[in-house]
């Protein structure tokens, strides 16, 4: 009995120290949403369980090595133990009970993170290789930044234009895959002002690591001021050039092509229209409307020198009007 008491005390001490050590590491980022509360609560109890199980295994092992090691000169056989029915029943029932408790806690946590607010604001999320765009249907504009009002639930309706992506803001805790051909949903209620990042948590191609967009949580007043400003910009963007600019943002074009001369996966668009473009076969072509339209609909027809290894997806679903708007926008990038 003395050994059991000593081991029990040591297990409690070791479990407490392990938990405090893990807690001091601040393994989780700052919590910035209402959904983070039940998730962090669940995580904390999991850390408690892991700390206890770690101590329950390691402490008896080390104590046995020290207390029951063979003494020098002792050649006698150890005591033969057939079994212990009570112990076997105990270590079967106790883990089963713990699993059921954690199953209930997990179901409760999931229900809390998916709690529906009928007044939630809707944001349509479009994911593509390798960029995000966010449409605010209640306000009539599209943005490359996700800006959300504090303390108001937001329903994200998400679609992918190419491959599987995954929406993830670590500070919000929740994550949701975005599957081509389906609309997936995620609910977030931001609770902490600040600047965060939308990341893709599903490997989606060569530039997966750079598929990030700003995620800003604003006060209600600041959000409305920003939304009003964006509505004005959207209204002014009804020209072909403006429509083309919005289209390239929502289609993810700027994930591969820069408009400031910087080098990305594909050729820059700055000064492209009307310029002489060197091709991989050693010839050159004038970047006129015919060439640019062909490059949008059939990117592999003429490959720009230096970009032979990059594979641009075809945008065959674009209408003639949409292509014309994109070309009008490209003409402005001088």
**Residue of 244, 232, 264, 228 whose CA lies nearest to 315:** 244
pLDDT in tens, 241-251: 878 887 888 77
Residue 93, pLDDT above cutoff 70: yes
pLDDT in tens, 250-288: 777 888 888 888 888 888 889 889 899 999 888 999 999
pLDDT in tens, 141-172: 888 899 999 999 999 999 998 899 999 999 99
CA torsion angle for 32, 160, 155, 175 (degrees, to 10)?
Answer: -30
Q: In this structure, what token pair is assigned to residue 68?
A: 């029951």
* Owner of token pair 């966010």: 134
Is the pTM of the predicted complex or chain greater than 0.85? Answer: no
Cis amide linkage into residue 262, ω under 30° from 0:
no
- Give residue 84's pLDDT band: very low, low, confident or very high (50, 70, 90): confident
Note the pLDDT of residue 263: 81
Distance CA 309, CA 275 (A): 22
Which range (31-40, 214-223, 247-256) has the least confidence? 247-256
Query: Which is higher by pLDDT, 174 or 313?
Result: 174
Q: Measure Cα distances from 268 to 209, 252, 263 in Å.
A: 20, 14, 6
Note the pLDDT of residue 167: 95
> Residue length, the chain?
334
Beta-bridge partners for 125: 134, 158
Half-sphere exposure of 151 toward its Cβ, with a 13 Å CA cutoff?
A: 3
- Give residue 87's pLDDT band: very low, low, confident or very high (50, 70, 90): confident
Task: Give the rounded distance of the alpha carbon of 279 from its chain centre.
Answer: 37
What average pLDDT does the segment 121-126 reach?
Answer: 94
Note the pLDDT of residue 166: 95
For the chain, give the mean pLDDT. Answer: 89
**CATH architecture of the domain with range 240-331:** Orthogonal Bundle (1.10)
What average pLDDT does the segment 91-109 reach?
Answer: 92
**Residue of 34, 163, 181 whose CA lies nearest to 109:** 34
* Owner of token pair 């600047």: 195
> Is residue 328 within 8 Å of residue 267, measured between CB atoms?
no
Q: In this structure, what token pair is assigned to residue 244?
A: 């083309």
What average pLDDT does the segment 93-102 reach?
Answer: 92
Distance CA 329, CA 334 (A): 10
Domain coordinates in residue numbering, the chain: 2-65+87-113, 121-236, 240-331
Residue 238 has phi, psi (to 5 degrees) of -85, 0
Strand 121-128, strand 154-160: pairing:
parallel
Distance CA 9, CA 171 (A): 37
pLDDT in tens, 286-333: 999 998 988 888 888 888 988 888 777 777 778 888 888 898 888 888
Distance CA 124, CA 269 (A): 27
Domain 121-236 superfamily per CATH? Cupredoxins -  blue copper proteins (2.60.40.420)
The backbone region for 318, taken as left when phi is positive above 0, alpha when psi lies in -120 to 50, beta otherwise, is: beta
Distance CA 183, CA 125 (A): 10
- Give residue 239's pLDDT band: very low, low, confident or very high (50, 70, 90): confident
The residues, any chain, with a CB within 8 Å of residue 25's CB and separated by 6 or more, are none
> Is residue 155 within 8 Å of residue 190, measured between CB atoms?
no
> Considering the chain, what percentage of its residues have pLDDT values greater than 90?
48
Domains 121-236 and 240-331 share a fold: no
pLDDT in tens, 178-199: 999 999 999 999 999 999 999 9
Distance CA 100, CA 110 (A): 15
- Give residue 237's pLDDT band: very low, low, confident or very high (50, 70, 90): low
């Amino acid at each position: 009995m003395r050994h059991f008491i000593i081991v029990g005390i040591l297990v409690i001490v070791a479990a407490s120290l392990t938990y405090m050590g893990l807690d001091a590491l601040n393994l989780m980022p700052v919590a910035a949403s209402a959904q983070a509360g039940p998730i962090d609560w669940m995580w904390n109890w999991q850390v408690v369980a892991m700390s206890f199980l770690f101590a329950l295994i390691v402490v008896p092992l080390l104590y046995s090595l020290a207390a029951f090691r063979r003494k020098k000169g002792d050649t006698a056989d150890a005591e033969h133990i057939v079994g212990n029915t009570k112990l076997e029943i105990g270590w079967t029932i106790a883990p089963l009970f713990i699993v059921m408790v954690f199953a209930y806690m997990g179901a409760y946590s999931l229900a809390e993170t998916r709690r529906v607010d009928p007044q939630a604001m809707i944001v349509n999320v479009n994911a593509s290789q390798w960029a995000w765009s966010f449409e605010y249907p209640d306000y009539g504009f599209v943005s490359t930044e996700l800006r959300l009002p504090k303390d108001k639930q937001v329903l994200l309706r998400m679609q992918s234009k190419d491959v599987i992506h995954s929406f993830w803001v670590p500070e919000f805790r929740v994550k949701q895959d975005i599957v081509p051909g389906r609309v997936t949903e995620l609910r977030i209620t931001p609770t902490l002002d600040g600047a965060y990042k939308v990341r893709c948590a599903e490997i989606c191609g060569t530039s997966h690591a750079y598929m990030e967009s700003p995620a800003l949580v604003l006060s209600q007043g600041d959000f409305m001021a920003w939304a009003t400003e964006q509505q004005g910009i959207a209204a002014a963007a009804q020209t072909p050039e403006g429509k083309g600019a919005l289209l390239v943002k929502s289609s993810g074009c700027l994930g591969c092509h820069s408009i400031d001369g910087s080098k990305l996966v594909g050729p820059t668009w700055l000064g492209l229209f009307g310029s002489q473009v060197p091709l991989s076969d050693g010839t050159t072509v004038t970047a006129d409307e015919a060439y640019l339209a062909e490059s949008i609909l059939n990117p592999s027809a003429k490959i720009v020198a230096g970009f032979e290894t990059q594979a641009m997806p075809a945008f065959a679903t674009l209408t003639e009007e949409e292509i014309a708007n994109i070309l009008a926008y490209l003409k402005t990038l001088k």
